[in-house]
Amino acid sequence: MTTPVIVWLRHDLRLADNPAIFYAAQQGAVIPVFIDDTSQLGNWNTGAASRCWLHHSLESINHEFEGQLRLFKGNPQDVLTQLIKDTGAQAIYWNRCYTPHAIARDSSIKQTLKSQGVEVFSYNGSLLWEPWQVSKADGTAYKVFTPFYRKGCLNAAPPAEPLSRPKLTLFSEQIPYQHSLPELELLPDHPWKNQITDHWDISEDAAWRLLRQFTSERLSDYQDARDIPSLEGTSTLSPYLQWGQISPRQIWYYSQQQGNKPGLEDALDTFLKELAWREFSYYQLYHNPGITTENLNQRFNRFPWKHEAEQYHQWQQGCTGFPIIDAGMRELWQTGYMHNRVRMLVGSFLVKNQLQHWHYGARWFWDTLVDADLASNSASWQWVAGCGTDAAPYFRIFNPVTQGQKFDPDGSYVRRYLPELTDLPNRYIHTPWEAPAAVLSKAGVVLGSTYPLPILDLKETRQAALEAFSSIKETV
C-alpha cells in the first residue's frame, strides 16, 4: 500500500464519485496531479472566465488533499514521464475526456506509458452514457435528440451508481519542480475576476448545496420557472459539472430520489432531459469532431454571413438598444453566466438579425462563460444558427421584444442588469424607443446617451435573414 500511484485530474475536481481517485486509493499512496496543459490546444485554450473558475476549483480541492495536490504546467506527456521516473509510480489513473484533442492526447500518452511498463487505468467520470454506448438498431449514431434519449439512452444500461468518497493515503515526498497555484497564472489581470467570485462559491461542497436547494425548493416549479430569467428557477449547476465538482451521476440519482414524489414526475423528467441534452452535445462532438468549426449542415457553407465589427462589439458590450439582449450580455460579463432562455435570444440576435457567423458568438461565449464546455458550446451555437444536428429551424427567429415581454413582463431581469432603465414604466421597459419624451425624461433616460437606440430594425433584419436562408435552400 505504499507504492505511489498517480491520479491525473482534469475536469473532475472532486473526491466523491471520482472513479480514478476511488480505484487509485485502493492501490497505494496517491499523487493527485493537475497539469495546466499547454500542448497544442490551438484555438480552444481555456477561456478567461473558465481559468478564473479553475483557479478557485484547484484552491478548493487542494484543501481537501491537505495541500498535497501537485500542480504542473506544460506538455502532459513530458510532465507525467518525468513524474513517474522521479517518484517510482508504476500506475496512473484518470477519468476520460471526450474532446477531439483530449482523445488524441490521452491515447498517445497511454500508448507511450504502456510501452514503458506503466499501467494506465481510465474511467468514465463525466458522462451518464459514453458516446459509443448509445446507437440505433442498425449501429449508426442518432441525429435527433428525442430518440437519442428516449430510445437510446433510456434503453441502454442505466448509469453506474455514484461511488463514495474514498479514504486516501497521500504521497507526501517533495517534488521540487511542481508549481504553486499563483505560478499557473490562471487569474486574468482584470478586476472582472472579482465579479465572478462575488457571484459564485466554487467548491465541491457548494455544488452539493446547490443541488439540495434546487431539488427541495425549486424542482416543483422547474417547468415554468426555468424560462423566467429574473427567477432562480434553474439549478445553475453547469459550471460545477464542467469542472467536475459534481458528477452527472450524482445529479441523476439524487434528483430522482428527491423528486420521487406525486406531482413531481413531469418536472423531474424535464430536469433529467436537460442533463441528457449535455450528453447529446458530447455525443455529437464524438461522432462529429468537426462540430467546433464546421457546419454540420453543409448548405450553410454557402450562407452569406456578414461581419460588422462595430455591431459585433455592441453585441458583446450589451449596447444593442434591445433591453433583454443587453441585459443578457451584461449578466454574462458581470457573472460569467447567462440564463439559458436569454442565451437563445442573444444567439438568435447575433446570427439572424445581425447575420454574423455563429463562430463569433461561440468564441465570445468560450472566453466569458464559467461553464464554457466545448461540446455544449459548439452544439448550442450550431443549434441556434440552424446548421447543427436536430437544430432549430433557421426561420425560427426570436423577437427580443416579444420574448422580453413574455418572459420578463415586469422588467425585473432587465432592471437588474440595466440600472439606467430602472425608472421606465413596465409598458416601455422592453421598447424604450417607443416611450414618449416626457416618460423618458421622468425616468432619466436619454436615448443615444444614457441608453443606446436600437442598432437595427427587427422586421427588416428578419426579412433579410429569411432571404439569406432561401438562397441556400437548393441542394449542394
Positions marked catalytic:
274, 277, 305, 340, 358, 381
Closest-CA residue to 288 (of 423, 379, 212, 373): 379
Rg (the chain; Cα; Å):
24
∠ CA(436), CA(438), CA(439), 5° rounding? Answer: 65
Cell 452535445 found at: 281
Phi–psi pair at 77, nearest 5 degrees: -65, -45
What's the grid cell of residue 54?
Answer: 479553475
Q: DSSP 3-state assignment of 34?
A: strand
CB atoms within 10 A of CB 120: 18
What b/e string do you get for 193-232 counting C-beta neighbours within 10 Å, with b at 16 or more?
Answer: beebeeebebbbeebbebbeebbeebbeebeebbbbbbbe
Q: Return all residues near 149 (Cβ < 8 A) that are at least 6 apart.
A: 273, 276, 279, 280
Cell numbers representing residue 382 in the block:
450550431
CB contact burial 262-292 (16+ within 10 A = b; e otherwise)? eebeebbeebbebbbbbbbbbbbbbbbbebb
- Segment 208-214 long-range contacts (CB within 8 Å, at least 24 positions apart): 208/246, 210/235, 210/236, 210/237, 210/240, 211/235, 211/237, 211/246, 211/250, 211/251, 211/254, 211/255
Chain position carrying cell 457546419: 295
Distance, in Å, from the CA atom of 362 to the CA atom of 292, rounded to the nearest integer, reads 9
Q: Widest CA span of the chain, in angstroms?
A: 80
Question: Could you give the dihedral angle defined by the CA atoms of residues 50, 53, 58 and 63, in that order, rounded to the nearest 10 degrees?
Answer: -170
Question: Taking the CB of residue 332, how many other CB atoms lie within 10 A of it?
Answer: 24
